[in-house]
Amino acid sequence: MALIPSQVLRVAILLSYFSILCHYKALDMPAHQTYGGSWKFLTFIDLVIQAVFFAVCVLIDVSSLLTKGGDSREQERQLRKLIGLRDWMMAVLAFPIGAFVVFTFWSLYLYDRELVYPRLLDNFIPQWLNHGMHTTVLPFIIIEMRTTHHRYPSRSWGLAAVCCFGVGYILWACWVHQVTGVWVYPVLERLTAVLRILFFSSLLVVICIFYILGEILNNYIWDPPQTGKVKGE
């Protein structure tokens, strides 16, 4: 038996995301006042994705509790729709985008933090909030994957969906640059046009890799290899 019920963990994680989002939006940062506001940052978009995902998870827990023992087919049908939405969000958004944000942020940060998180931001963002945005996302989503079985879509459809998200964000970042003349992240300022295309392409590849890794991890946890039958059975 788990020390903490999974339903309680999901509520705690959801509340933590609400707290992180509220503190982040309350920051008096110049970047929040420019075109696109917080929505031009992939980190903020990912936080919203994670919060919505865990809100759906909590809604499913509450709905399952309320409909337990009932015989309403309509309620069961609506619950199955919510479960389908939850599984799709886990496969296409929550895991690959969350893992991507953590991996790319800390990789660039360790190489040269000025490329992604200039020291100037330390005057606005406390360390605990930085880790809430760029670190705890991955363990939270792994906890959810470990406690609940999620059905992944076919790999081709899943990869197509996650690529659409990636291309959509790249186009959004380019549009913000077109309007403001400033790239969302400093690393893009240092690249030539050709290198920028290669950089964006490599990021799409990384997101696809994280999608596949999420699928493999989910299958490893919930579909262990079948052991051979005992001789004589």
Residues 93-103 pLDDT 10s: 999 999 999 99
Whether 179 is in a domain gets the answer: yes
Query: How deeply is 204 buried, as exposed, middle or buried, from its count of CB atoms within 10 A (0-12, 13-18, 19+)?
Result: middle
Average pLDDT score, the chain: 90
Whether 231 is in a domain gets the answer: no
Q: Is 55 helix (H, G, I), strand (E, B) or coil?
A: helix
Domain count, the chain: 1
- Residue 223 CA, chain-centre distance (Å), reads 23
Whether 229 is in a domain gets the answer: no
Whether 1 is in a domain gets the answer: no
pTM, 2 dp: 0.91
Whether 41 is in a domain gets the answer: yes
| Per-residue pLDDT reduced to its tens digit, 166-211 | 999 999 999 999 999 999 999 999 999 999 999 999 999 999 999 9
pLDDT at 3 over 70: no
User: Residue 39: how many CA atoms within 13 Å on its side-chain side?
Assistant: 6
Whether 76 is in a domain gets the answer: yes
| Per-residue pLDDT reduced to its tens digit, 8-66 | 999 999 999 999 999 998 988 888 888 999 999 999 999 999 999 999 999 999 988 87
Residues of the domain holding 126? 6-27+35-222
| Per-residue pLDDT reduced to its tens digit, 130-145 | 999 999 999 999 999 9
Whether 114 is in a domain gets the answer: yes
Query: Residue 70 — pLDDT band, cuts 50, 70, 90?
Result: low
Q: Look at residue 106 in the predicted model and tell me its pLDDT.
A: 95
Whether 228 is in a domain gets the answer: no
pLDDT at 4 over 80: no
Q: Look at residue 78 in the predicted model and tell me its pLDDT.
A: 86
